[in-house]
Chains A and B, each alone.
Chain A
Amino acid sequence: GAVVSQHPSWVICKSGTSVKIECRSLDFQATTMFWYRQFPKQSLMLMATSNEGSKATYEQGVEKDKFLINHASLTLSTLTVTSAHPEDSSFYICSARDYGQGAEETQYFGPGTRLLVL
């Protein structure tokens, strides 16, 4: 149980284009999902918290108009990187909480999306 998928696994795009990344909880409902960014040899940096049916909560320093988050259902959250630039190249990972397990704090991670902006 508690499987999280992410799509695509990697993407290469041109500077100025937008990229959408999907995060799905496959066998549980996730009212809360998290989006992280991880640069090489660094820790996970939380970008935003995605809540089903409401606006996402962004961490300080993260541009909400650049990183659009939509959590339209209990199993799907999307992150759109708008007008991507080379400095946005990174490993983007989502996670989801499985409230059904009774351990509401536990987060399960998706496999990540490697974004390269040329």
Chain B
Amino acid sequence: GENVEQHPSTLSVQEGDSAVIKCTYSDSASNYFPWYKQELGKRPQLIIDIRSNVGEKKDQRIAVTLNKTAKHFSLHITETQPEDSAVYFCAANGYYKLSFGAGTTVTVRA
């Protein structure tokens, strides 16, 4: 099945700086890659997703890039703000389900 690895596990950035989280996947048939943000005790919220026919997608301060050849995709958050502090999960679709990375705890220092 699909195996998703996510790095780093923790990330601390100064407010206003950028944050980058990287994920790799194993199944070359995967074609859908969502990113979720989860605040403590709350549900994961879809923040952006990308499909394999697109190399990059941007939504305001958030962008995702996909390299299908290398089987990796990344989340970029620019101009970080304190409310960006949360756990971020990447995922890739397998046969009928999503496989999630281990998560990255992002802390934005004021």
A105 near B102 with CB under 8 A, answer no
Number of CB contacts from chain A to chain B under 8 A? 42
CB-CB contacts below 8 Å: B64-110 with A: 89, 93, 96-98, 100-103
Residues of A within 8 A of B (CB): 32, 34, 42-44, 46, 49, 93, 103, 105-112, 114
Whether B43 and A110, one on each chain, are in contact in the complex, defined by CB atoms closer than 8 angstroms, is yes
What's the Cα separation between A83 and B44 when bound, in Å? Answer: 28
**Could you say which of B46, B93, B100 contacts A44, with CB atoms under 8 Å apart?**
B100
B-side residues, CB < 8 A to A, are 32, 34, 36, 41-46, 49, 89, 93, 96-98, 100-103
Residues on the B chain within 8 Å of A110, using CB:
43
Q: Considering only CB atoms, which chain B residue lies closest to A111 in the complex?
A: B43
Evaluate contact between B32 and A105: CB separation under 8 angstroms.
Answer: yes
Given contacts A44-B100, A107-B98, 13 further A-B contacts (CB under 8 A): A42-B102, A42-B103, A43-B89, A43-B103, A44-B44, A44-B89, A49-B97, A103-B49, A105-B34, A106-B49, A108-B46, A109-B44, A112-B43
Supposing A34-B97, A43-B103 touch, asked if A109 and B45 sit within 8 A by C-beta, the answer is yes
Residue of B nearest to A48 (CB): B97
> What are 7 A-to-B residue pairs whose CB atoms are below 8 Å?
A43-B101, A44-B89, A44-B100, A49-B96, A105-B98, A111-B42, A114-B41
B49 x A93 contact (CB < 8 A): no
Nearest CB in chain B: distance from A39 CB, A: 12
User: What 8 A-B pairs come out closest when comparing CB atoms?
Assistant: A105-B32, A109-B43, A111-B43, A44-B100, A43-B100, A109-B44, A43-B102, A105-B93
